Amino acid sequence: MGRSSDSRSERPGHHGRDNPRATGAVRLSDVAAAAGVAAMTVSRALNQPELVSERTRERVQRAVIETGYVPNRVAGALASSRSKMVAVLVPTVAHSLFADVVQSITDTLALEGYQVLLGLTGYQMQEEAAVVDTVLSRRPDAVVVAGTRHSETTRARLNAARIPVVEIWDMSDDPLDMLIGFSHHAVGAAVADYLLGCGYRRFGQAMADDPRSHQRADGFNERIQKAQEGRPDAGIQVTTCWADLPASLAGGRAAAASLLEEMPDCEAIVCGSDTLAMGVMAEAQSRGMAIPETLAVMGFGDMSFAAATWPALSTVRIDGAEIGRLTAEHLLGRFNAPSPAPVRDVLDVGFEIMARQTTLATGRQTN
């Protein structure tokens, strides 16, 4: 008769209960057994090392490494009501601007012992709602979320969590709690004013199809419409092409091809990102169009390559690292306040138009 299938201790690779990994997470008692000390001694060595001898600390540390033990911070959080964790939710980290924000928040919070839980929300409300539900179940001390457009369910859950919330990368008249960002609508209007001032009159827009790009396009279009009304004989015109997400060089080339087919005499193309702008430049150059003499190009984001392109890319600079630093500092201020009652705080960090070679066409004059 064969061996019984219940003989677990005799199965190949099975080490029984003497291997903590076989039964789940390594426990404090497993570390204590490996170190040959009491569980209370292990706890003191990890949480109050000044209370135990150096020799004991070394034994405990060796046992921690041996067993792969990870302290249960949740238990401590239940007692202190602090998890020392902040959830940071952004659409993507493929864009260096969001990566800069996350890195800056992480670095600043780490100085006070806080860790970041990163969530990627994409560009749809339902994706954001799912991520918010997940991170709130981890009981973070605060939530940072890019944007101000949320579903009613998401707004209700963030409010019900009764923890600090910082919305970033946008402006709103009705923030959930704290808000640190800039007006995308104002960016669009400022870009229109700048290009009109350069003498351009026939515009294309190559924009990524996300909410913030729509806000910039609206700001641009409103300012162009105002200019059209003031100068009906100036021939001012604008055509917009929406590129698929995520923004890419290929998307920029496709958008430029579409815009130039619809408006062959287009003078300037405004792009929803520097990445799209690079694609637009590639398409224009493949057609033998001189930049900026034949076609001007304007980006958004001032990514690391923007100033190093040839010709250097005109764009809009957003200081993502500063947004991250201010966000972390506002959270730490809330954490350390004697009475952390919600106080709505809105900070507009602004933006800067970086006028470079792709929009400075020789001989252009403002009419």
Asked which of 64-78, 92-106, 131-145, 283-297 is least confident by mean pLDDT, the reply is 64-78
Which residue type occupies 29?
S
Q: Taking the domains of the chain in order of start, what are their residue ranges?
A: 8-71, 83-182+321-336, 184-317+353-359
The conformation of residue 122, written as its DSSP 8-state character, comes to: T
Q: What would the pLDDT profile of 312-322 be if each residue is shown by its tens digit?
A: 999 999 999 99
Maximum alpha-carbon separation in the chain: 100
Q: What is the pLDDT of residues 155-206, one digit of tens each?
A: 999 999 999 999 999 999 999 999 999 999 999 999 999 999 999 999 999 9
pLDDT tens for 91-150 read 998 878 899 999 999 999 999 999 999 999 998 899 999 999 999 988 999 999 999 999
pLDDT at position 47:
83
**pLDDT grade for 340, boundaries at 50, 70 and 90:** low
What per-residue confidence (pLDDT) applies to 166?
A: 98
Whether 15 has a pLDDT exceeding 70, the answer reads no
Please state which CATH number belongs to domain 184-317+353-359.
Answer: 3.40.50.2300
In this structure, which CATH number among 3.30.360.10, 1.10.10.10, 3.40.50.2300, 2.10.109.10 belongs to the domain 83-182+321-336?
Answer: 3.40.50.2300
CA 101 vs CA 146, 173, 335, 344: distances in Å: 10, 23, 20, 21
The reply to whether 8-71 and 184-317+353-359 are identical in fold is no
Q: What is the mean pLDDT of residues 328-339?
A: 90
What is the predicted pLDDT for the residue at 178? 96
Per the model's pLDDT, the better-predicted residue between 16 and 41 turns out to be 41
Can you name the CATH fold of 8-71?
A: 434 Repressor (Amino-terminal Domain) (1.10.260)
Predicted local distance difference test score (pLDDT) of residue 362? 40
Burial code (b: 16+ CB inside 10 Å, e: under 16) for 199-223 equals ebbebbbbbbebebbbbbbebbbeb
16: pLDDT strictly greater than 80: no
Examine the pLDDT at 222 and tell me if it is beyond 70. Answer: yes
For residues 267 and 200, what is the distance between their CA atoms, to the nearest angstrom? Answer: 6
